Amino acid sequence: MLAEWVGREILPHERELRVWLARRVVAAADMEDVVQECYCRLAQLSDVSHILTPRAYLFTMARNILRQQRQRTRVVRIEPLSDELEATLEGDLPSPERAAMARQELARVQSALATLPERARRIFMMRRVDGLSQKDIASRLGVSESIVENEASRSLRAILKSLTGPPADDDISLAAAGGSHARSR
């Protein structure tokens, strides 16, 4: 009885179901899995008298199967780190000296940025940090693209000049306090 009902009420909609799945950019192998899973679930039913619209039932079942598949692919397994991997990751941490040098370099960059005029600093940050295009920056600030281009170029030159020049007095004293790690430029 179930086989007759599936043949009469479900099978005629299989082609339409496949087209519907293809429109949802379901890969061919996944499409076969969804269709097969629909038939498996139908085969497990003991009674089909509660199904008033078989086509809608089939498509709802397929949509639910797709949703379950997508949820399964989003799940990320969380496993504890092995001792070997944990030791490797700890070995990647910067040394205290390297961390101190990075803090000094960051302070120099911040100082160089502070010397720029406000508009030039905003343009530089929007271009280099936020990754905005010159056109986007120009429209946001209400200036021409050539102004943005010139300000960004001048700002970059000023910052590079500041960073490649000799360190400021406080940088020298910090480096000297570090002993053999003092910079020479």
The per-residue DSSP string of 117-167 comes to -HHHHHHHIIIIIS---HHHHHHHHT--HHHHHHHHHHHHHHHHHHHHSPP
What are the pLDDT tens digits along the chain (185 aa)? Answer: 788 899 899 999 999 999 998 888 677 778 888 999 999 899 898 899 999 999 999 999 999 998 888 887 776 666 666 666 666 666 666 778 888 888 888 888 888 889 999 999 999 888 888 888 889 999 999 999 999 989 988 888 888 888 777 665 544 444 444 444 444 43
- For the chain, what are the domain ranges? 2-74, 96-181
Regarding pTM above 0.95, the answer is: no
pLDDT tens profile 34-87 = 999 999 899 898 899 999 999 999 999 999 998 888 887 776 666 666 666 666
Joined together, the tokens standing for residue 88 give 């490797």
List, in sequence order, the alpha helices (H) in the chain: 2-5, 14-23, 28-43, 54-74, 83-91, 96-114, 118-124, 134-141, 145-164, 169-177
CATH 1.10.10.10 fits 96-181, yes or no: yes
